[in-house]
Amino acid sequence: VVELDRDFAEAWGQLAQAYSQMGVFDVDAKWSEQAEHAIAKTLELDPIQCDALQARGQILWSSSRGFQIRPALRALNAALKVNPGRYTVRWFRGAILFHLGFYEEAERDIEECLLANPEYAMGLAGRGLIAQYKGDYGAAHEFNERALAVDPAFNHGYIWSPMAPLLMGRIEEAREKARRARQVVPEETLITGIEGLIAAHEGNFKRAEQLADEACL
- pTM for the full predicted model: 0.89
Residue of higher predicted confidence among 18 and 63 = 18
Q: How far is CA 200 from CA 47, 188, 195, 196, 204, in A?
A: 52, 19, 9, 6, 5
Q: Are 108 and 86 in contact (CB under 8 A)?
A: no
Q: Is the pLDDT of residue 145 over 90?
A: yes
CB 98 within 8 A of CB 108: no
Q: Distance between terminal CA atoms of the chain? A: 42
Of the pLDDT bands very low, low, confident and very high (cuts 50, 70, 90), residue 217 is confident
| DSSP per-residue codes, 16-48 | HHHHHHHHHH---HHHHHHHHHHHHHHHHH-TT
Best CA proximity match to 191, nearest among 153, 161, 151, 168: 161
Q: What is the mean pLDDT of the chain?
A: 95
Given a cut of 80, whether residue 25 has pLDDT beyond it is no
Checking if the pLDDT of 64 tops 90, the result is no
**CA distances in angstroms from 68 to 35, 58, 62, 96, listed in the order given:** 16, 10, 8, 10
Q: Which of 124, 118, 155 is nearest to 139 (CA)?
A: 124
Element containing residue 89 per DSSP (H, E) = helix 87-99
Write the pLDDT tens digit of every residue in 172-189.
Answer: 999 999 999 999 999 999
pLDDT, residue 156, reads 94
Alpha carbons 158 and 105: distance in angstroms, whole number: 25
Please tell me the chain's helix, strand, coil percentages from 3-state DSSP, rounded to the nearest 5.
75, 0, 25
